[in-house]
Amino acid sequence: MNGESPSNSASDTSESVIDGTSDTSESVIDRSSSARVRQLRRTWRGFRANSLASAGLVVVSVVVVVGVFSYVDEALFDSALIKAVYYSPFEPRFVPLEGPSPAHPFGTDTLGRDVLARTIYGAKVSIQVAVTAVVVAATIGSALGVVAGYAGGVVETIVMRVVDVMLGFPALVLAIGLVAALGFSLTNVIIALGIVYVPQFARIARSTALSVSSEEYVDAARALGYSTPHIVFREVLPNCISPLLVQASLLMAFAIIAEASLSFLGLGVQPPTPTWGQMVSDGSGYLTSAPWISLFPGGAIFVTVLGFNLVGDGLRDALDPRESTERRF
Amino acid sequence: MNYRHVAIRVLQTVPVLFGVSVVVFIIIHSAPGDPVVNLLGIQATEENVAQLREAYGLNEPLYVQYLHWISGVLQGDLGQSITRERSVSALILSRLPATLFLAVASMVVATVIAIPAGVVSAVRKGSVSDHTVTVGALTGISVPNFWLGLILILVFARTFELLPPGNYVSPAANPVESLKHVLLPAITVGTAYAALLARQTRSSMLDNINREYVKMAKSKGLSSRKVFVRHALKQALLPVITVAGLQFGYLLSATVVVEQIFAWPGMGRLIWSAVRQQDYPTVQGTVLVIAALFVFINLLVDMAYAYLDPRVSVS
């Protein structure tokens, strides 16, 4: 936090720019990366000061930990860990449709499986799909958008027309079309949602890259004779990160709902793997007699999505200077 | 209204619609398995398969198949359903009214809640009502609609028996009954949409409240209510209309899921059953029609925007 005061660094920069030697351009570039670190610290401070955003981060962290636990437990230990302390999410060994009780806090489902154990395991698919799909979409979309924004011309026109076409589909309808063709499985749901969210990132990356490309340090890098890929991925892209990060956390919230919607419709990950959407659907026929089957996993979706939205909103507020000046009044 | 802008905007939709049709075609044709074998069953003889492939034009190169399909589409022929003895166009025409009715009802519900909530929230910034609206909007965006729908059915249809749990009744046949039946599904679909609109209304009202012209109107001695409604709200609604159009896709996506819960015989259930039965021509047709509808709505929104805001020029 003990960075130089802003006035100092500003005068340094202007002096060195006036200087105009190659040495100076290097220092402009260095300045841009240290400014980035300062901005990240400022963002983090702003984020922490926002109690709702911090609460969201706690929720998201808990769900991610539960998801990772279920993943490791199922993949490496054949569900031995959860069985050691609780019940198996898969074995139908209890009385079906039993209401919540100390033994089964979330009750049991139609086949006599513990709903809490299944809700814990449901976090696995939700987190896996949301994180992977958004990372895939962010990687492809940001790369396309930044290249389009920096290069301009024909490349930009082609990328943006494809983006326009993709945005011509309502997201979930496109996802349904894709899983219809690919088949209903975990990988295909990830591929489908990954494709659906590419244009959102491409659009944001392009508009940010457009404004970043006219910055001094990009000119400096160009003057230094750096290669275009170097400029695009080392200079332009890192400076477009903030809005992309906000978009990523908000899209995770959408991805969790989208995955749950596909599962609810029976077009997502298939049984016996428990998913929250599928569990809500399983209980929908027993609404009056056993509402807990649907209510608890649905509540888990709600809380997780709320967490991601709080984090996204908090990030946006911490990064958007317009919003913070408004708050000063 | 600027007619040149309108004409250019209409022309711009043509390549988008063309792109949409290509994407739909490619997606459906990348499905694994031979559609003819799917149709005839695995016991079909090779001769039968070859005959039918020929009849459906499946031996042609892909672009010829596309041209064949798209020329049919332009004449209103979306092909034949594999699992039902009807044309895809007829199936869609029979389902479209229910979906449109639900979408419009949801939009009405959402607007009636969102605009006043957003205005109050902005005008009384920092008050209890502002916080209520902000938290409400966040909740509305985060709640999965299928879960909300089930809760509404449980509370209003099963426990208190106030409203029927969906089931479409045509508004032409019985307007009152039909409104009763559409209320729960419309609230379910409209909640997230309302949340998005309320957020946008709040932020664009805030943008406008501090502008010079609002201060000017106030200093002229107009009551603040008049100033907010006549001046600020009118300007603030422009971005809200844009968001309403862009998020209409969200509304269409939501109806696909919500129709399932409320036994609503619309496009969503049609897509769902077609996907389950691997009825690819129907999937292809319904996805195309929904996307086209979305593109068309966005075109209308842009025109409404151009009509309301004379500053808009061709970009």
CA distance A202 to chain B (A): 17
CA distance B42 to chain A (A): 19
Which site among B20, B146, B196 would you substitute to test the A interface, given the most A Cβ atoms closer than 10 Å to its Cβ? B146
Which residue would you say has higher pLDDT here, A8 or A104?
A104
In a domain, A298, yes or no: yes
Please report, for the domain that includes residue A315, its CATH number: 1.10.3720.10
CA distance B223 to chain A (A): 24
Q: Which of A171, A288, A302 sits opposite B253 (nearest CB)?
A: A171
pLDDT of residue A329: 28
Beta bridge partners of A114: A108
Please give the residue of chain B at the shortest CA–CA distance from A52.
Answer: B135
Please give the residue of chain A at the shortest CA–CA distance from B149.
Answer: A284
CA distance B118 to chain A (A): 17
Inspect the interface and report whether the beta carbons of A173 and B256 lie closer than 8 Å: yes
- Tokens, residue A308: 């991601």
Which residues in chain A are contacts of B32 at CB distance < 8 A? 183
pLDDT of residue A326: 35
Which residues in chain B are contacts of A182 at CB distance < 8 A? 30-31
- Please, where are the H alpha helices in chain B? 3-29, 35-40, 46-56, 62-74, 88-123, 128-142, 145-152, 175-209, 212-219, 224-226, 234-246, 248-261, 267-276, 280-308
Q: Which of B138, B253, B257 sits opposite A264 (nearest CB)?
A: B257
CA distance A175 to chain B (A): 10
Q: What's the rounded Cα separation, in Å, for the pair B4 and B235? A: 23
Reading chain B (315 residues) residue by residue, the pLDDT tens digits are: 567 878 888 898 999 999 999 999 999 888 876 667 767 777 777 788 788 777 777 778 888 989 999 999 999 999 888 888 899 999 999 999 999 999 999 999 999 999 999 999 998 888 999 999 999 999 999 999 999 999 999 999 999 999 999 889 999 889 999 999 999 999 999 999 999 999 999 988 888 887 777 777 777 777 777 777 777 787 888 888 888 888 888 899 999 999 999 999 999 999 999 998 888 889 999 999 999 999 999 898 888 877 777 665 444
Task: Tokens 């399983």: give the residue.
Answer: A282
Inspect the interface and report whether the beta carbons of A253 and B141 lie closer than 8 Å: yes
Please give the residue of chain A at the shortest CA–CA distance from B299.
Answer: A168
Contacts of residue B280, defined as CB under 8 A and 6 or more positions apart, other chains included, come to: A180, B28, B31, B35, B82, B274
In a domain, A21, yes or no: no
Inspect the interface and report whether the beta carbons of B261 and A284 lie closer than 8 Å: yes
Task: Tokens 């088949």: give the residue.
Answer: A183
pLDDT of residue A27: 55
Entry field: residues in chain A: 329
Which residues in chain A are contacts of B27 at CB distance < 8 A? 177-178, 180-181
In degrees rounded to 5, what are phi and psi of residue A108?
-120, 160
Band (pLDDT 50/70/90 cuts) for residue A26 is: low
Q: Which of B143, B144, B294 sits opposite A168 (nearest CB)?
A: B294
Q: What's the rounded Cα separation, in Å, for the pair A175 and A307? A: 24
- Tokens, residue A34: 């240290």
Task: Encode pLDDT of A65-121 as tens digits.
Answer: 999 999 999 999 989 999 888 999 998 989 999 889 999 999 999 999 999 999 999
In a domain, A2, yes or no: no
Q: Radius of gyration of chain A from Cα atoms?
A: 24
The three-point CA angle A304-A307-A311 to 5° equals 145
Size of interface A-B (CB pairs under 8 A): 143
CA distance A184 to chain B (A): 10
Q: Is the pLDDT of residue A219 over 80?
A: yes
Task: Encode pLDDT of A121-158 as tens digits.
Answer: 999 999 999 999 999 999 999 999 999 998 888 999 99
Lowest mean pLDDT among A30-39, A150-159, A172-181, A258-267: A30-39
CA distance B9 to chain A (A): 13
Please give the residue of chain A at the shortest CA–CA distance from B160.
Answer: A288
Inspect the interface and report whether the beta carbons of B17 and A168 lie closer than 8 Å: yes
Inspect the interface and report whether the beta carbons of B154 and A170 lie closer than 8 Å: no
Inspect the interface and report whether the beta carbons of A180 and B31 lie closer than 8 Å: yes
Q: What's the rounded Cα separation, in Å, for the pair A311 and A250? A: 8
Q: What's the rounded Cα separation, in Å, for the pair B268 and B286? A: 9
Determine the structural domain holding residue A195 and report its residue range: 50-324
pLDDT of residue A13: 39
In a domain, A10, yes or no: no
Q: What's the rounded Cα separation, in Å, for the pair B104 and B106? A: 5
- In 3D, which of B291, B303, B308 has the Cα closest to residue B73? B291
Q: Which of A177, A257, A299 sits opposite B287 (nearest CB)?
A: A177
Q: In 10 A of CB B42, how many CB atoms? A: 6
Q: What's the rounded Cα separation, in Å, for the pair B174 and A292? A: 36
In a domain, A130, yes or no: yes
- Residue type (1 letter), B180: K
Q: What's the rounded Cα separation, in Å, for the pair B191 and B250? A: 11
Determine what percent of chain A is predicted with pLDDT higher than 90.
Answer: 60
In a domain, A22, yes or no: no
Which residue would you say has higher pLDDT here, A63 or A211?
A63
- Tokens, residue A210: 């457009």
Number of domains in chain A: 1
Q: Is B165 exposed, middle or buried (0-12, 13-18, 19+ CB in 10 A)?
A: buried
pLDDT of residue A28: 56
In a domain, A23, yes or no: no
- Tokens, residue B197: 């609109």
Inspect the interface and report whether the beta carbons of A172 and B271 lie closer than 8 Å: no
Inspect the interface and report whether the beta carbons of A309 and B141 lie closer than 8 Å: yes
Inspect the interface and report whether the beta carbons of A170 and B290 lie closer than 8 Å: yes
Q: Is the pLDDT of residue A3 over 70?
A: no
Q: What's the rounded Cα separation, in Å, for the pair B184 and B143? A: 15
Domains of chain B, with CATH numbers?
A: 101-265 (1.10.3720.10)
Per-residue CA distances from B24 to A39, A181, B171, B284 (Å): 43, 10, 32, 6
Contact B150, B261 (CB under 8 A): yes
Inspect the interface and report whether the beta carbons of A173 and B151 lie closer than 8 Å: no
pLDDT of residue B5: 78
Inspect the interface and report whether the beta carbons of A161 and B15 lie closer than 8 Å: yes
pLDDT of residue A14: 40
Task: Encode pLDDT of A10-24 as tens digits.
Answer: 334 343 444 444 445
Q: Which of A177, A277, A281 sits opposite B27 (nearest CB)?
A: A177
Q: Radius of gyration of chain B from Cα atoms?
A: 24
Q: Which of A165, A181, A284 sits opposite B20 (nearest CB)?
A: A165
Q: What's the rounded Cα separation, in Å, for the pair B100 and B178? A: 13
Beta bridge partners of A108: A114
Which site among B253, B264, B298 would you substitute to test the A interface, given the most A Cβ atoms closer than 10 Å to its Cβ? B253
Q: Which of B27, B150, B151 sits opposite A178 (nearest CB)?
A: B27
Contact A236, A209 (CB under 8 A): yes
Please write down the HEC assignment for all residues of chain A: CCCCCHHHHHHHHHHHHHHCCHHHHHHHHHHHHHHHHHHHHHHHHHHHHCHHHHHHHHHHHHHHHHHHHHHHHHHHHCCHHHHHHCCCCCCCCCCCCCCCCCCCCCCECCCCCEHHHHHHHHHHHHHHHHHHHHHHHHHHHHHHHHHHHHHCHHHHHHHHHHHHHHCCCCHHHHHHHHHHHHCCCHHHHHHHHHHHHHHHHHHHHHHHHHHHHCCHHHHHHHHCCCCHHHHHHHHHHHHHHHHHHHHHHHHHHHHHHHHHHHHHCCCCCCCCCCCHHHHHHHHHHHCCCCCHHHHHHHHHHHHHHHHHHHHHHHHHHHHCHHHHHHHHC
CA distance A162 to chain B (A): 8
Please give the residue of chain B at the shortest CA–CA distance from A179.
Answer: B275
- In 3D, which of B20, B10, B30 has the Cα closest to residue B290? B20
Beta bridge partners of B80: B87
Cα A277 to its chain centre, rounded Å, is 19
- In 3D, which of B90, B80, B196, B81 has the Cα closest to residue B136? B196
Q: Which of A165, A264, A266 sits opposite B19 (nearest CB)?
A: A165
Contact B115, B193 (CB under 8 A): no
Dihedral through CA B13, CA B15, CA B20, CA B23, nearest 10? -170
In a domain, A173, yes or no: yes
pLDDT of residue A15: 39
pLDDT of residue B31: 81
- Tokens, residue B182: 């559409």
Which site among B150, B193, B297, B299 would you substitute to test the A interface, given the most A Cβ atoms closer than 10 Å to its Cβ? B150
Please give the residue of chain B at the shortest CA–CA distance from A169.
Answer: B291
